[in-house]
Amino acid sequence: MLLRAVPGQSKGGNMYRGHLLSYMLLLLAVTILLDQSDAQKSVPVTELTSKGGTNYSGSGEGKLEIFCYRARPYSPFGVFSSSRLEYRILPPSYALYEGESEQEVHYLHGNASQSWLPVLFQRKHVSFPPFTNKCIGIVSSYAYSFVFREYNIDYFRLLQCVASLALFFYARNLVHSPAIFYSGGALLGVLASILLLIFLLKRLFPGGRMTVAAMFVTGWSFWIYLLLQLWNSKFEIFCHYKHYFLAYIGLSAGIAFLICYRIGPPKDERTIDTMQILMQFVALNGVYFSSDAPEVTLAFCIIALLAYNFPARMKARFTTWLQRRFFKPTIRMLTEEEYIRQGDETTARELERLRDFARSPDCDAWKVMSRLRNPSRFGSFVLGESHLQDSEILEYETTGAHFDDDSALTHDTTDDDDGEHDVDIALRRNLLAEGARSASRYLTSASSVLANGNHTGNHLRNTILHRT
């Protein structure tokens, strides 16, 4: 051998070479750290602000450019606020790095050579949480420009929260709706038809299941790239192949609709409960992700759950209290014509209900007939005749003609018999003025009220005399 270890010096030489290698690695690490710190110092950081509609632009030299947004003070009134970066000139290709600080952006940029995924996610706008610091880094060889906007109220997020709450509270009704069942089934059929395409792709490739499984396991980045390219070119694809696209959607939706029509809406309570729970779970997720303040939206979700599971009796009492406390109904008094018309309508309706009950099997005819003074008259009434006889109407008409002088109606109200006589005279006068039906109504009221005592009878008598 050309090289021979000297006896007694092999151990010391190995130690020397080990120390030398350690010093070289340490020097390399220090050099890399110094280079990174110099690179961080050399990269300018631009503060994003929406005052005056400031426009920002990139040089397009392929260097890292960092833009940072400083969080605004937290306010519960800004729950649905949002901040967004909107491109005015979108570069054909660029790399985007997002982090909470400049150091994190530099770290992501330093490790970008290990992955090409950031280049795929090319978006036309970038969202910034209003209450959290966020920095982005852009690397592009093409010039670009964008504008940064802040919205105190993002109406899309507000609409998302309101719609999700409505979906949560009306999930039970929607589950029972056949229209929702058929439309949801058609939509699910369109989405499930993608599985048919995957099955056809499996038949095209050799190797069967193993080939497709290997594509999904090892080629996931290819599928991400393909989906992103399709999404970015969705309008061009739809314009060029809209006939095929509409035919595919119509065919898959039609087949799904026919299957749902054949099966029919669910009737099993457990199936309905499961669908309701899934729908309410989706609604709560929509409420939670409708704002960048998760503690507020989480409170919305908890309040919605408590309100939905609140006991029905206590909920009704609380609703009634709110209506009486803050929404007091205005009571409008009836006019004399409205009162008379309402009385006539009520009398006719109740008489018809009495006829229906007498004709129904629930009525014990023999028991009723045994308690009546004139069963034949009641039978005529049930068959549709009037509840007043002609002789009674004629008696009221002929008797009322003798009481044209108002002085004859003034009597002492201390005696019960005189009071009943006054009421009878007033009823006869009303018979001449308003007809037999109104007089019967006054007669019924008088007989029921006079039986309760002098005070009530006197009050009714005075009222009738005043009307007369």
Beta strands 144-151 and 95-99, pairing class:
unpaired
The answer, yes or no, to whether residue 89 has pLDDT greater than 70, is yes
Q: Which of 120, 117, 48, 118 is nearest to 85 (CA)?
A: 48
**pLDDT bracket for residue 414 (50, 70, 90):** very low
**pLDDT bracket for residue 217 (50, 70, 90):** low
In DSSP terms, which residues pair with 139 in a beta bridge? 95
H or E element, residue 58: strand 55-58
- Alpha-carbon distance of 93 to 247, in angstroms, equals 34
Beta strands 65-69 and 45-47, pairing class:
parallel
Residue 155 tokens, joined: 């109406």
Q: 40-54, 259-273, 362-376 — which is least confidently predicted?
A: 40-54
Ranges of CATH 2.60.120 domains, the chain: 45-153
**What's the pLDDT score for residue 44?**
76
Residue 101 tokens, joined: 């600080």
**What's the pLDDT score for residue 116?**
46
The answer, yes or no, to whether residue 52 has pLDDT greater than 70, is no
**pLDDT bracket for residue 2 (50, 70, 90):** very low
Residue 447 tokens, joined: 């007989």
**pLDDT bracket for residue 401 (50, 70, 90):** very low
Average pLDDT (297-314) is 90
**pLDDT bracket for residue 171 (50, 70, 90):** very high
Collapse the DSSP code of 134 into the 3-class scheme (helix H, G, I; strand E, B; otherwise coil) and give the result: strand
Taking a C-beta distance cutoff of 8 angstroms, is the pair 422, 465 a contact? yes
Average pLDDT (217-233) is 62
Instruction: Give the mean pLDDT of the chain.
Output: 74
**pLDDT bracket for residue 221 (50, 70, 90):** low
The answer, yes or no, to whether residue 281 has pLDDT greater than 70, is yes
Angle at CA of residue 150, ends 144 and 155, nearest 5°: 115
- Alpha-carbon distance of 101 to 106, in angstroms, equals 9
CATH number for the domain running over 45-153: 2.60.120
The answer, yes or no, to whether residue 342 has pLDDT greater than 80, is yes
**What's the pLDDT score for residue 341?**
92
**What's the pLDDT score for residue 369?**
84
**What's the pLDDT score for residue 162?**
95
